[in-house]
């Protein structure tokens, strides 16, 4: 098992549940046992949830696994069926589950400036939480769900918050422009500035803080975000939330086909026999969409390993069934946002319940009159009903 987060843990559990009683090795590049990531941008960042509360394993759980934590995979030897580690060790196996996830994208030249953060790991969240406790001016680059959740949390902590989004409308990709515009009004409702349709040119460092540390000439700690239209926004803290890239570089030259992650079938099979992929790094074939999709959602990382493990144990193709439509949720400014389905497949979207003004909408997306997705804002009961209908329609 290469990857010790939710997808890797889910696959390990599924292996034992499906009867595998052999040697199980779980390799993780972080030092931490598996932990829950969604709270990192919300309750954990706000200080209302502790590290112990993030644990994904139960107190009485025993997977009879050997855990190699703090061990980074650097290669896969197909002939020897071995995973090479950065410390020189090799782990040989009859079957391999690739669950190495994704890493946050960064801005070029910003890595050496103090006060600049991404949020993907527990260590990222620890560092950001410590800085937010000091207050000040926060600029979030990227208006997606992670950026929006960080902005919401920081606003509740009393910081002055600005979001910069390069696209004309935040969230247009995952939920469409119309509903993305409605969801994003939550920022303005709470006094958080939202600047759309403008890119970031770079970051400026405060030269008074000391030695030159960045190749672009910036010094010390960040003090401003420079926009492509010539404006600058003063900042004490910057969070870069511009997406993530799959962690698959270690597989180059291994024979595993790579295409926006690990290309695999609906059953998790890769181009190498005895190797399957799950989680954020898996670009799996979705029979509903008729195309490959890489989905970075908690639910997929928990549910899809069952099919991949069944394939691995069977030694070949297994009919995985039609997966449920992708589902994700977000909590912003006290509003629960839920989405299921495929916004890009829709040719229309209509609010079926609630109102945009009250921020309690239930919206249904349709293609040629057939529902293909549903969005809920503070509509958990109606949303759950519609989500079940979507799943039943494709089964």
State the pLDDT confidence band at 275, using cuts at 50, 70 and 90: very high
pLDDT (0 to 100) of residue 233: 97
Average pLDDT, the chain: 93
26 secondary structure, DSSP code: E
Q: Do β-strands 370-377 and 362-367 pair in parallel, antiparallel, or remain unpaired?
A: antiparallel
pLDDT at 152 over 70: yes
pLDDT (0 to 100) of residue 217: 45
pLDDT (0 to 100) of residue 166: 96
pLDDT (0 to 100) of residue 246: 97
Q: What percent of the chain has pLDDT over 90?
A: 87
Q: Which fold has domain 6-103+244-314?
A: FAD/NAD(P)-binding domain (3.50.50)
3 vs 209, more confident: 3
pLDDT tens, residue by residue, 309-347: 999 999 876 676 667 888 999 999 999 999 999 999 999
pLDDT at 18 over 50: yes
Q: What percent of the chain has pLDDT over 70?
A: 95
Yes or no: say if 71 and 31 are a contact pair by the CB < 8 Å rule.
no
Cα 150 from Cα 156, distance rounded (Å): 10
Q: Considering the domain 106-240 in this protein, what is its CATH number?
A: 3.50.50.60
State the pLDDT confidence band at 218, using cuts at 50, 70 and 90: very low
In 3-14, which positions are buried (b, 16+ CB within 10 angstroms) versus exposed (e)?
Answer: bbbbbbbbbbbb
Report the Cα 116 to chain-centroid distance in Å: 19
Cα 224 from Cα 32, distance rounded (Å): 33
Cα 321 from Cα 133, distance rounded (Å): 47
List, in sequence order, every beta strand (DSSP E) within 167-281. 193-196, 200-206, 221-227, 232-234, 237-240, 244-246, 262-264, 275-277
pLDDT tens, residue by residue, 219-229: 589 999 999 99
State the pLDDT confidence band at 208, using cuts at 50, 70 and 90: low
pLDDT at 276 over 70: yes
Average pLDDT (66-94) is 97
How many CB atoms are closer than 10 A to CB 36? 17
Cα 167 from Cα 352, distance rounded (Å): 27
Least confident of 73-82, 119-128, 320-329: 320-329
Same fold, 106-240 and 334-394: no
pLDDT at 394 over 70: no
pLDDT at 76 over 80: yes
Average pLDDT (37-49) is 97
Cα 352 from Cα 337, distance rounded (Å): 15
Instruction: Tell which CATH classification among 2.70.70.10, 3.30.420.40, 2.20.25.10, 3.30.390.30 matches the domain 334-394.
Output: 3.30.390.30
Going from N- to C-terminal start, the domains of the chain cover: 6-103+244-314, 106-240, 334-394
pLDDT (0 to 100) of residue 60: 92
Closest CA to 5 of 69, 58, 50: 69
* Residues whose CB falls within 8 Å of the CB of residue 195, separated by 6 or more in sequence, listed in order: 162, 163, 164, 165, 227, 233
């Amino acid at each position: 098992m290469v990857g010790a987060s939710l997808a890797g843990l889910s696959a390990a559990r599924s292996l034992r549940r499906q009867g595998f009683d052999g040697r199980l090795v779980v390799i993780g590049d972080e030092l931490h046992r598996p932990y829950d990531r969604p709270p990192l941008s919300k309750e954990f960042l706000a200080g209302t949830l502790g590290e112990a509360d993030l644990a994904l394993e139960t107190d009485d759980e025993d997977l009879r696994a050997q855990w190699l934590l703090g061990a980074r995979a650097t290669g896969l030897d197909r002939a020897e069926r071995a995973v090479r580690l950065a410390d020189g060790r090799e782990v040989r196996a009859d079957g391999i589950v690739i669950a190495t996830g994704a890493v946050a994208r960064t801005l070029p030249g910003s890595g050496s400036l103090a006060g600049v953060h991404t949020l993907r790991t527990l260590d990222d969240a620890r560092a950001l939480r410590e800085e937010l406790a000091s207050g000040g001016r926060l600029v979030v680059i990227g208006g997606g769900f992670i950026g929006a959740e960080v902005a919401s949390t920081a606003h509740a902590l009393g910081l002055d918050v600005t979001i910069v989004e390069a696209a004309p409308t935040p969230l247009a990709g995952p939920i469409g422009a119309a509903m993305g515009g409605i969801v994003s009004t939550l920022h303005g409702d709470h006094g958080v500035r939202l600047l759309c349709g403008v890119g970031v040119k770079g970051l400026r460092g405060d030269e008074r803080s000391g030695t030159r540390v960045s190749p672009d000439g910036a010094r010390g700690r960040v003090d401003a975000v420079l926009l492509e239209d010539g404006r600058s926004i003063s900042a004490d803290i910057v969070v870069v939330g511009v997406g993530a890239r799959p962690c698959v570089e270690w597989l180059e030259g291994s024979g595993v086909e790579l295409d926006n992650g690990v290309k695999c079938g609906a059953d998790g099979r890769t181009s190498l026999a005895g190797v399957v992929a799950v989680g954020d790094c898996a670009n799996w074939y979705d029979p509903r969409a008729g195309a490959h999709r890489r989905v970075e959602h908690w639910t997929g990382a928990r549910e899809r390993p069952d099919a991949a493990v069944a394939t691995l144990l069977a030694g070949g193709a297994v009919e995985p069934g039609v997966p449920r439509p992708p589902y994700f949720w977000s909590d912003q400014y006290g509003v629960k946002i839920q989405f299921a389905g495929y916004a890009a497949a829709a040719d229309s979207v209509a609010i079926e319940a609630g109102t945009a003004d009250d921020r309690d909408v239930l919206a249904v997306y349709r293609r040629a009159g057939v529902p293909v997705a549903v969005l809920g804002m503070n509509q958990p009961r109606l949303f759950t009903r519609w989500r079940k209908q979507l799943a039943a329609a494709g089964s």
